[in-house]
Chain A
């Protein structure tokens, strides 16, 4: 029994770390640009395919391929920000519609290029590992480590560097931040690109554990929304905690209730949270107008 519980917790933490990374990108984009990016999952999908091409066609080392995917998506995100989202800042609905348009474009481009057949990236660590009698794929442990590492680096960047401070200042109030000499446009573009790069990394990792299809972005972005709402829209720390929480809830739901409905638990939690505490578990209750 204890082993089972421990196993569920460990698996929950592994998926939770990815949810946290996806949620972080979404929450940053929302917090800074006021845009709910439904196409975040497509950034993840693009990252996954870039890593796939680099690994299978060019025989690149997986870590390098992940880096390549992140770079590619960063550039893509910068282009998208400049051409579309820049014109819809803090206009929630326009931003949302634009992101839905982006989904249609990116998903179908991938469909045209790679078809709908599922593919997978060969895992660099196919072995399994035993932690306290719990068997787990080494690849998952590796994914967990990489994600946690990047999340940590990102948090330090946000807290300790000047640019990180600029990002936080812009998130709080862009007008005041720009009077203080912070270049709002640049900070926004950069934040959006960083969030997307995180999604690309998760995409590459998912590709080694599950499969790649042009539609793979839908489920993670949904999980990202759950995380973001759970943690409070715009809250960075909240989304990380919520990511792990969701991972564990799902893992227990799959273990004790039904594994076919695994993806459903998140939605149920999400709907419940939105109905009871729409500002999230850790968020501040906003003015009435905002909700």
Chain B
């Protein structure tokens, strides 16, 4: 298919630019900024799988991001588990939480699901705040260790010593996430997920066990968020309960929606523009949130396709290429009720 080739082209462009970026902009600050952008690409793309493609309005994403971060860090500092085992352990734990919560809540719809996942997210934050002996409460934990080098015994392949080495690890994670999400949503499985969003009853009558598909999307999306959490905790070197609360979920959602929900490129554009721009322009965080809130509302009211739609319209008007996804973007974003 032609559109496949365009996606492959965009994807290669992304990876190539990502790989060259540290040579183009060698300053530590700009590499740090790009690392944050990559973090949000993982977070928003995985949320896009749950909310965007499958239409399940679960608002506990930051909590799973937090489970990944807290579980891996606590396994290392409290139990002395080797870093990569703790990394995997944190992600698996998040996956297990997501499985249990998903099985319990995903039969709910719309507002009910949002409220219930919101409650789980708050319970997680309350636990972090109050279980002081384990989590050090609201003061958070300063993460002092660095990931152990990757490699086989006797041959080190990758060391985490400079910002640049972290950056390439994050670039790999972001590219893997994008590739995984693209493969998922363009497969038959993805078709079922989209069918669930549009009309779950119909998908059910067509013989698909919709609950399984919803749980699958929820668990994988949440585990990807946990991957981000476990990988970034040693890099950011500080974790605290309020980094993983409802406001963070709202922020991730804003970046996703402003970027463009239900597209692969949307979360990428959203992360690039919305995460880096305020830092470069040195806009204070609260002003950033006010502006994003306004933009989000305008988009919900007037322009459901987000930034990706603007970019596509621009590309289209240049007569450069017809980009797939127009049809999808034009849909009402609300049919997941």
| A contacts, CB < 8 Å to B | 30, 36, 38, 84, 87-88, 91-94, 96-98, 100-105, 107-109, 111-112, 218, 222, 225-226, 229, 233, 260-261, 263-264, 267-268, 270-271, 274-275, 278, 289-291
Contact = CB atoms under 8 A, between A and B. Distances in A.
A36 B111 CA distance: 7
Contact of A93 (B123, B284, B285, B334): B334
A263 B126 contact: yes
- Which 3 residue pairs are nearest across A and B when measured between Cβ atoms? A104-B293, A105-B293, A108-B286
Given A84-B301, A88-B301, A92-B334, A274 B294 contact: no
B143 interface: no
Contacts of A92: 57, 110-111, 334, 337
B337 A274 contact: no
Contact of B246 (A36, A218, A274, A289): A218
Interface in B97-128: 104-105, 107-112, 114-116, 118-120, 122-123, 126
B336 A102 contact: no
Given A92-B111, A264-B123, A270-B115, 15 more contacts: A91-B334, A92-B337, A94-B300, A98-B297, A101-B292, A104-B251, A104-B289, A104-B290, A109-B286, A222-B122, A226-B119, A267-B119, A267-B123, A274-B105, A290-B109
Contacts of A96: 57, 111, 114
Given A98-B300, A222-B118, A278 B112 contact: yes
Contacts of B201: 289
Interface string B51-81: 0000001000000000000000000000000
B115 A225 contact: yes
B334 A101 contact: no
A238 to B, nearest CB: 15
Given A93-B336, A274-B116, A101 B300 contact: yes
B108 A88 contact: no
A290 B246 CA distance: 26
B104 A275 contact: yes
Nearest to B295: A101
Contacts of A30: 111
A290 B296 CA distance: 27
Nearest to A80: B297
Provide the main secondary structure of the chain B interface: helix
A112 B333 contact: no
A84 B286 contact: no
A270 B119 contact: yes
B253 interface: yes
B250 A103 contact: yes
B1 interface: no
Contact of B108 (A93, A274, A289): A274
B294 A101 contact: yes
B130 interface: yes
A84 to B, nearest CB: 5
Contacts of B111: 30, 36, 92, 96, 233
Nearest to B337: A92
B324 to A, nearest CB: 24
Nearest to A96: B114
A96 B246 CA distance: 14
A254 to B, nearest CB: 13
B254 interface: yes
Contacts of A105: 289-290, 293-294, 297
Contacts of B284: 112
A267 B247 CA distance: 18
Given A93-B337, A105-B293, A274 B253 contact: no
B167 to A, nearest CB: 29
A94 B294 contact: no
8 contacts: A84-B301, A97-B296, A104-B250, A222-B122, A233-B112, A261-B126, A274-B115, A278-B112
B108 A271 contact: no
A115 to B, nearest CB: 10
Contact of A264 (B126, B286, B301): B126
